Amino acid sequence: MRTIETHLQAIFGQRVVGVDEAGRGPLAGPVVAAAVQILPDRFSSEIRDSKRLSPKKRELAYEELLRTCQVGVGLATVEEIDQLNILQATFLAMRRALDNLPEPPQFCLVDGNLEIPDLPWPQRAIVGGDDLSISIAAASIVAKVERDRIMVAYDEIYPSYNFGQNKGYATKDHRQRIETYGRCPLHRGSFRCAGDL
């Protein structure tokens, strides 16, 4: 999975950074992005697409990545999602993640089929990038764990919605809770919920 990074580092320099997000699809909560520059030659944890890792393995990988790599995290709030739309809010979160790196990147690898608008650095969008690029896979892990922790914290504030379990996604249980209790401030007004149907 390092082939892409190794090739780009030979051209652009060592600071090749992977960017990915978590939380584009949920009915509630922010969208969170991470940018990661891989530094170690090897990891003791498994680094791959966060969706292919168990929560325990994700947490172990997350802690190792924060300890050993250059990491930036950014988010876009529910209000920004509703104001901008989810795609533009995702780009905003990604730019914030890149801005929060200790050093600016020399090249960005972005998961998906769209490049981030208005970046001052060269970039490449890669469909299925979290399976092809170790830095994108690392970013997917960091973004997922960061967002999950945010939603677990929100579960304490809005216990009626079971955010600790559903993380804001449109599960059957979550939709039923929206029908019972209505929306809370964490629900995205621009997304259709069960009560809207």
Average pLDDT of the chain is 95
Q: Is the pLDDT of residue 4 over 60?
A: yes
pLDDT at 1: 76
Structural domain including 91 reads: 3-157
Q: Is the pLDDT of residue 105 over 60?
A: yes
Give the domain CATH number at 81: 3.30.420.10
- The angle formed by the CA atoms of residues 53, 7 and 9, to the nearest 5 degrees, is 90
State how many domains the chain has. Answer: 1
- Rounded CA-CA distance 168/187 in Å is 8
4 CB-side CA count, 13 A: 24
pLDDT at 194: 47
Which tokens go with 163? Answer: 């955010």
Structural domain includes residue 172: no
Give 16-68 pLDDT, tens digit per residue.
999 999 999 999 999 999 999 999 889 999 999 999 999 999 999 999 999 99
Structural domain includes residue 68: yes
Structural domain includes residue 190: no
Q: Does pTM surpass 0.85?
A: yes
